[in-house]
Structure 1
Amino acid sequence: MAKHIPANQKLWKGRNSQSIDYWHQAISFELTTQKRKVAILGYCGDQGVKRNLGRSGANEGPDAIRKVMASMAYHLPESLSLVDLGNIETIGQDMEGSHDMISEKVADLLEGNVFPILLGGGHDLAYAHGKALLQHLESKNQTLGIINLDAHFDLRPLVDGKGHSGSPFHQLSQEFPDSFHYLCLGVQKAANTPGLFQAAKSAKARWMDMEEFRPDNWDYIAELLNGFTNKVNKIYLTIDLDGFSSAFAPGVSAPSPMGFGPELALKVMDWLALSGKMISMDVVEMNPKYDQDNATARLAARCIEFMLRKLFIRMEKP
């Protein structure tokens, strides 16, 4: 069982001005306009994190990100409508029920030519999100490439027959074996067993170790991105905040001091926006219980703002 909770409009507050200068002034709460649309949908669930023995609290992540978003300066074009559709909340331990509801919502958004931005919540969100994307594109005879900025492959097997925050891409690879195209950037060997590297090989995944995923290796990173994106029609970007160093993202389910920095993540996002293939995005594992000065929430919000600005301002240019 799951519940759809309408957007909490009180979260969207900040400085006022006569023109639309801040996100809280630009946000709307219904998909009624004929403009090009971006929809924000939160996933208030960390049952998958608990099943994966991580730190609970990610269920509070979406609203923490929204609070920071509200006061950001707004630089998106007038031709774009920004809509908050509220949260999907897991009731009790029924993670699967919330996944079904998320997949249905994302499918509806895609059919309406809306660009979804999902806020997590545990990374099990990627299973529900990716499933909707794969089904949507298969109906159009198109292929999806999944790019995951993460310290973990998240290719772990099910536990007692159930999914969790470490299994979303395993589940997608099993359900869509002929359509599974996956690239993970920032993989940390200390956080992934030899068996998981073998699972990645078996799933024909591509990856780059954290030791190689660094700014001075950009030419090789760009070559990898180019080779991967050229083989698919659309790209889904999923950002697990625990892939960042805990110096930048302390408020996550599984922190690490050895992750990548924001500069490199933004460079990847800029490259993906330029590809013209982005179809959807999520940011997951935001855990306000362990955040410091809202640093992780701000990082999540800035990643979203950066991607949307690069995507839609570029589209406006002749």
Structure 2
Amino acid sequence: MLHQNPNPSLWSGRKSEEIEYWHQATISVKDLNLDDKQDTPKVGILGYAGEEGVKRNQGRLGTAEGPNAIRKNLGTLAFHLPEKSRIFDYGDIYTEDDDMESSHKLISETVFNLLETKHFPILLGGGHDLALAHGRGIYRHLASKNQKLGIINMDAHFDLRPTLDGKGHSGSPFFQLAEENPDSFQYLCLGVQRSVNPKSLFSTAESVGAKWMVMEDFRMNNWEVIQEKILWFLDSVDKIYLSVDMDGFSSAFAPGVSAPSPMGFRPEFAFKVFELLASSKKLISMDVAELNPAFDHDQATSRLAARCAEYVARKVLALKD
């Protein structure tokens, strides 16, 4: 089994008699034994300690260490989720040799089971090929409910590249999801940078019916237009899956990624988008991908990734309380 049990020692921080920090509220669970009893709001954390997709896409290696770097910083954050909330850490799914596809299969199954047992899944990457496995699990969950999924990817890249010799990689997850779900693929990519997406990818985006906002337009002074575009997208679907690629942020705030760029969005703007998505009550799952601790500075990127996960979880679970 391509699964590693969580390491409780990663969850540490300040001591207090009451639950005041995430490390105190997080329960480490072995063997993917998902909680199906708690009727209270709950988060299910699952790591993807894999970088085969990044390797295939000629990116900088090191993302396999991402999940634990995020956990270390999540644990130190103050706990402001609803009092009855529960956080479960279900460990990591890893890749053996170059068999990324087997890792994806287990991730998809686990995401499906997390949703079926009423968790809010937060997946920690790992390469962005994670989105293919994550998306598959959500599509399966919604299929029996006849609900339409919308995918919002905050990213410098479309990640709509074709597969290589039939194999996926960190640049192809949404292309593969589009191929697998041609009649129901609803995709909005925010923060696309023209400098790293050739014209062919814009053509691919058009061919699969994707929507997007380029980085030049994805700025605070254009908020009314951005808000309208996001709200229109939210109205067209039943549920939302949010994927946050850390390389979408400016490298001034997120240097520790596989493909850094100085021209990305700022954290306070991204969090404004998070709040809008959470307020819709349609957000059912998220992932944070492409953190590469090998190139981080003073844990700036892993701290930011942890803040993204904490903020979204807090906003989503507050509406479920």
Q: Establish whether TM, by shorter chain, passes 0.5.
A: yes
* 2:32 paired residue number: none
- Tell me, yes or no, if the aligned pair for 1:134 and 1:179 is still in contact at 8 Å: no
* 1:21 paired residue number: 20
Distance, in Å, in 2 between the alignment partners of 1:13 and 1:208 is 39
- Tell me, yes or no, if the aligned pair for 1:186 and 1:210 is still in contact at 8 Å: yes
Following TM superposition, by how much is the alpha carbon of 1:135 offset from its aligned partner in structure 2, in angstroms?
1.6
* 2:315 paired residue number: 310
Letter of the 1:262 partner, please give it.
P
Residues 1:10 and 2:9 are matched in the alignment:
yes
- Tell me, yes or no, if the aligned pair for 1:236 and 1:281 is still in contact at 8 Å: yes
Distance, in Å, in 2 between the alignment partners of 1:99 and 1:243 is 23
Residues 1:79 and 2:78 are matched in the alignment:
no
Following TM superposition, by how much is the alpha carbon of 1:90 offset from its aligned partner in structure 2, in angstroms?
0.5
5+ residue gaps, structure 1: none
Matches within 5 A, 1:163-242: 163-242=168-247
Q: How many residues align?
A: 315
- Tell me, yes or no, if the aligned pair for 2:281 and 2:319 is still in contact at 8 Å: no
Distance, in Å, in 2 between the alignment partners of 1:224 and 1:309 is 24
Choose from 82, 101, 113 the match for 2:118. 113
* 1:284 paired residue number: 289
Using structure 2 for the length normalisation, give the TM-score: 0.97
Following TM superposition, by how much is the alpha carbon of 1:78 offset from its aligned partner in structure 2, in angstroms?
1.7
Choose from 104, 107, 112 the match for 2:109. 104
SS of corresponding position for 2:2:
strand
Choose from 23, 36, 60 the match for 2:65. 60
Distance, in Å, in 1 between the alignment partners of 2:319 and 2:141 is 25
Following TM superposition, by how much is the alpha carbon of 1:286 offset from its aligned partner in structure 2, in angstroms?
0.4
Following TM superposition, by how much is the alpha carbon of 1:38 offset from its aligned partner in structure 2, in angstroms?
0.8
SS of corresponding position for 1:315:
coil
Residues 1:293 and 2:292 are matched in the alignment:
no
Shift >6 Å, 4+ stretches:
none
Following TM superposition, by how much is the alpha carbon of 1:29 offset from its aligned partner in structure 2, in angstroms?
2.2
Measured on the aligned residues, the alpha-carbon RMSD in Å equals 0.9
SS of corresponding position for 2:229:
helix
5+ residue gaps, structure 2: 30-34
Residues 1:134 and 2:139 are matched in the alignment:
yes
Distance, in Å, in 1 between the alignment partners of 2:311 and 2:43 is 14
Distance, in Å, in 1 between the alignment partners of 2:122 and 2:198 is 31
* 1:264 paired residue number: 269
Question: Residue by residue, what CA displacement relative to the aligned partner does 1:166-206 show, whole Å, maximum 9, x if unpaired?
Answer: 00000000001011000000000000010000000000000
- Tell me, yes or no, if the aligned pair for 1:235 and 1:280 is still in contact at 8 Å: yes
Letter of the 1:7 partner, please give it.
P
- Tell me, yes or no, if the aligned pair for 2:22 and 2:74 is still in contact at 8 Å: yes
Letter of the 2:27 partner, please give it.
S
Distance, in Å, in 2 between the alignment partners of 1:14 and 1:201 is 47
Percentage of matched positions with identical amino acids: 59
SS of corresponding position for 1:113:
coil
Question: Residue by residue, what CA displacement relative to the aligned partner does 1:81-137 show, whole Å, maximum 9, x if unpaired?
Answer: 100000001111000010000001011111111110000000000000001111211
Letter of the 1:309 partner, please give it.
R
